[in-house]
A and B are shown apart, each in its own frame.
Chain A
Amino acid sequence: MTDINNNTPMEDLTIGGNIYEAGNAMNFKTGDWRSMRPVYISDKCKQCGLCFPVCPENAIPVNKDLKREDFNYDYCKGCGVCAKVCPFQAIEMKEEGVQE
C-alpha cells in the first residue's frame, strides 16, 4: 500500500484509489504550492500560543515545553492565517522565492 507509485501496475492499485492507511498526508509534501511565505521573527514572539492552533496544515511545530518553533515549510501552504492572528507582528508574510 505505502509502496504505490507511478510505476505500480493496475493489478496492485487499490480500487477507486482508496487509501487504507491513516495519517498518510505526511507522505505528501504540499509546501511547494506556496506563493507567500510566513517568516517567524522569534525576537518579537511572546509564545502566546495563538498561531499554531489556527494552522490548517499543522506546519507550526510545538516542542515539549509548549513553545512554538520555526515553520515546517514542507507542509506550509502560505495561507497567512497565523500572521493574521499574531498580536505581536512576529510573523511576516513575504513573497516566496524573492530574495531581499
Chain B
Amino acid sequence: MSIRERLSGNEAAATAMKQINPDVVAAFPITPSTEIPQYFSTFVANGQVDTEFVAVESEHSAMSACIGAEAAGSRAMTATSANGLSLMWEMIYIASSLRLPIVMSLVNRAVSGPLNIHSDHSDAMGVRDAGWIMLFSENNQEAYDNLLMANRIAEHKDVLLPLMVCQDGFITSHAIENIMLEEDSEVKRFVGTYKPEHYLLNRAEPIAVGPLDLQSYLFEHKAQQGEAMKKAKDVILEVSKEFEAWTGRHYGLFEEYKLDDAEIAIVCMNSTAGTAKETINKLREQGVKAGLLKLRVFRPFPGEEIAKALSHCKAVAVLDKSDSLNAAGGALFEDVTSGMFVNKVNVPTINYIYGIGGRDTKVDDIESVYKDLMEIVNTGDIGNPYRYLGLRRK
C-alpha cells in the first residue's frame, strides 16, 4: 500500500536513499542538493540506516570514496549539483570505465560562472558523454521513483554502469508537493541486495581493478561500455515494468503527453514538462493540437523511439535548459535531430535555449513556442532554427 505524503524533491531523494539503505554514502554539501546528504546524515545519526556516511572534504573525494566503496563490493550513493559535479568530473569517467554501478542524485544547477546557484542543465550536459545512465525527473515523485529503480538498472549484469537521477534545483528540489511513498519493506524487496560477481574484498578471489590500458585495449573497453549502454535501454524498460506492477506508476523511456494526435510538439526534460502540460491543456481547449515529449532517459539516448514518436508532427521545438555555446544547437536538440535524420524522419524542428541560470519559464513562454510552431506549420518557413526563449535583447 502506497503512503500519501508531501515532500520536497530533496526530501523525496533522501527518503529513497533511506529506504535503499546503501552500504556507503559519501557526499559534500552544495546548493541546491545540500539537503540530501544533510537529511541522510540525520538518518545515520538516528540509526534509521546502517550506512557508512563519509563526510569528505570535496566532491572529487566524494566520487573517489564511492568508487573505492563500490569496487570493494558495497553499494555506494552520493548527491551533488553544478560545480560539485564539475569537481567530480575526473572521477565520473573512472566510475563508468571501471563499470561501477554507483547511484547519484543530481540536483541540476547552473555551472558557474558568473556565480549562479539556480537551476539549469549545464551540470548534467557537461557529463553527457561520460558513460553514465541519466534519468530526468519532472517532480518529486519521479525523483523518488527513479531512485528506487536506479540500483536495479545500474547493477544489472548486462549493464554495470553508474546512474544519475536528475531533478531541477529549487524548482522541484525545494518545492513541497504531494507524493506517494512505498513501504520500507517493499522497497527493500524491490531493490534487493547488491551481489557483485567480482569485488576487491573477496578473499577467495584477489583481483586488480583499473590497470594500465594502452593502445591494444582501451578501444575495446570503451566499446564494451557502449554496448552496456545499448543494453541498458531494455533493462530500464524491464525494471520500469516491474515497478509499475508494484506501484501502478508507469515509466517508459519518455512520456508522451497528448502526442498521439499532436500537430505541434515540444521536447523537454525535468520540471518544464509540467509547465508544458499546463500550456497544452489550455491550447487544447482552443482546439490547438499541441503535444509534449518529456524525455526521461537521456542516456542511453532513445533516438529511434523519439524519431518514431515525433514522425507524425508538423513542427517540433526542442527546449534546451543549457547552452552548448557552439554556434549551433543545444545538446538535446542535436541528439533529437540526429535521431530523426538517421531514422529518416523529416519534421521541421527548431531549438530554444531557455531557463538559463534559473530564468523563470512560464506558461506564457511555452505558449509562445507553440505559436512559433503554428507559424512554421502555416508558412512552411523555419526561419532561424537556433532561438532563445525569455532572453532580453534589443
Chain A residues in the interface with B (C-beta under 8 A): 5-6, 8-10, 13, 15-20, 22, 24
Contact = CB atoms under 8 A, between A and B. Distances in A.
Nearest to A14: B198
B261 interface: no
Contacts of B109: none
B91 to A, nearest CB: 14
A13 B220 contact: yes
A16 B206 contact: no
A interface: dominant SS: loop
B287 interface: no
B362 interface: no
A13 B221 CA distance: 8
A15 B99 CA distance: 7
Interface in B59-113: 97-99
A18 B210 CA distance: 6
A66 to B, nearest CB: 28
B223 A10 contact: yes
A19 B98 CA distance: 12
A16 B97 contact: yes
A15 B160 contact: yes
20 contacts: A6-B216, A9-B220, A10-B221, A10-B223, A13-B217, A13-B220, A13-B221, A13-B224, A15-B99, A15-B221, A16-B221, A17-B211, A17-B213, A18-B98, A18-B198, A18-B208, A18-B211, A19-B208, A20-B207, A22-B207
Given A10-B224, A16-B221, A17-B210, 16 more contacts: A5-B216, A6-B216, A6-B217, A10-B220, A13-B217, A15-B160, A15-B224, A16-B97, A16-B99, A16-B210, A17-B221, A18-B98, A18-B211, A19-B211, A20-B198, A20-B207
Interface string B220-250: 1101100100000000000000000000000
The 8 closest A-B pairs by CB, nearest first: A6-B216, A10-B220, A22-B206, A19-B208, A15-B99, A16-B98, A17-B213, A16-B99
Contact of B217 (A17, A20, A22, A24): A17
A8 B223 CA distance: 14
Contacts of B223: 10
Contacts of A24: 208
B205 interface: yes
A13 B217 CA distance: 9
Contacts of B227: 10
B1 interface: no
Contacts of B220: 8-10, 13
B57 to A, nearest CB: 27
Most chain B beta carbons < 10 A, residue from A5, A6, A18, A24? A18
A5, A6, A9: which has the most chain B beta carbons within 10 Å?
A6
A13 B222 CA distance: 11
A19 B99 contact: no
A22 B216 CA distance: 22
A32 to B, nearest CB: 15
B325 interface: no
Contacts of B221: 10, 13, 15-17
A10 B211 CA distance: 16
A79 B58 CA distance: 35
Contact of B209 (A9, A18, A22): A18
A72 B250 CA distance: 65
